[in-house]
Structure 1
């Protein structure tokens, strides 16, 4: 069975790209096949030394072929990086994937942006990413998290992905030997996404069951 996850949202710098790579690396570390799909035309394709597939979806025709392959192969994890400030593209991608995740950081600006996106994409989930590890900063960030969870019940991933400084190596031209902190963060990222995916699928099955009844 394939699992297609789209990381989107209008806010730039919300860690969509880093988080996408983390999830792919985590899948591989869990011995799950994974492919990272780049769609942002302003980014360069970086595939050297990566243990997961890196696919170029920057051209609409190429992206259409990739989406077709997802449906045909029905295997592994397909992680699609949406880039920022492309609401029309986000809306279109939401129609083609199993799960839309909106990463957001601990700032009022991120909170405002992800709030708008949650309204725009009713089935999307928000995920606190690059979350602070300092106790005082985490206490402040918790207020943002709780406010969003209250406004959008069951649509905020409850396990944050904490900031790891070394994770920036995922965006280097080559990824040959990720550091231990990055590997640990990748495993955690994949675990969270996998659990979220399963819970989301179960909720969808329950909704379909109620509709049939």
Structure 2
């Protein structure tokens, strides 16, 4: 049976689709076989040409059920399900099928209010700071907001996925022939974090990790944004 990772959440605009494709690309870079199933009906199907993972159209219940049956019948694959906003019952069903549930959120108070409700409803889910600022002042403010508003969920907050403009390239219908190395590093790091969280073994024959990616070999430490004293 394939490992299923669902990226969910009631709030739109949190980066669910971007994170799904970054994760799929990262798993591909690590030599793992991944399918990214898009369920949002507002999205266009993407070409599989040149991708290290398989994009799948799961925008109807029938298509999603077919993909789920296929994933449940194979070993060694990873299924990444990109959820949509405002579909709580649908999210609950997807969560029940998944080994890992990720809830991306941005630094706005509205995002945080929504992800807190989702965390309360889905006890197996982890919150992931998404499109997190890289500017020092903005980063400090964003982390302080999380520390103040999410202290009760500190053990279920994963390290942030920082904003990287090149991530939008993964959402193009046709993937560019060459992707920036910074994007590859970010995707590989995210995939390593999630693989360790899900107990997915990364092949031993991977090339050496770049210096800037070395931190991604560590097991994700929930609560890294919220000190224990909070």
Q: Alpha-carbon deviation of 1:35?
A: 0.8
Root mean square deviation, CA, Å: 1.6
Q: Name the CA distance, whole Å, in 2 between partners of 1:123 and 1:111.
A: 18
CA contact (8 A) 2:103 2:126 kept: yes
**Cα 1:141–1:169, aligned 2, differ >3 Å: closer, same or farther?**
same
- Per-residue CA deviations over 1:20-56 (Å, capped at 9, x if unaligned) read 0000000011111111101111211112432211111
Q: Name the CA distance, whole Å, in 2 between partners of 1:151 and 1:144.
A: 13
Q: Alpha-carbon deviation of 1:149?
A: 4.8
- Partner residue in 2 for 1:202: none
Range 91-100 or range 17-26, more displaced: 91-100
Q: Gaps (5+ residues) in structure 2?
A: 201-230
Q: Name the CA distance, whole Å, in 2 between partners of 1:141 and 1:60.
A: 37
Q: Name the CA distance, whole Å, in 2 between partners of 1:92 and 1:136.
A: 39
Q: Name the CA distance, whole Å, in 2 between partners of 1:190 and 1:155.
A: 18
- Partner residue in 2 for 1:67: 68
Aligned length: 198
- Partner residue in 2 for 1:198: 199
- Per-residue CA deviations over 1:47-68 (Å, capped at 9, x if unaligned) read 2432211111111112112111
- Partner residue in 2 for 1:7: 7
- Per-residue CA deviations over 1:64-97 (Å, capped at 9, x if unaligned) read 1211112110222111100212111101111111
- Partner residue in 2 for 1:99: 100
How does the TM-score come out when normalised to structure 1?
Answer: 0.88
Q: Gaps (5+ residues) in structure 1?
A: 200-213
Q: Alpha-carbon deviation of 1:160?
A: 1.0
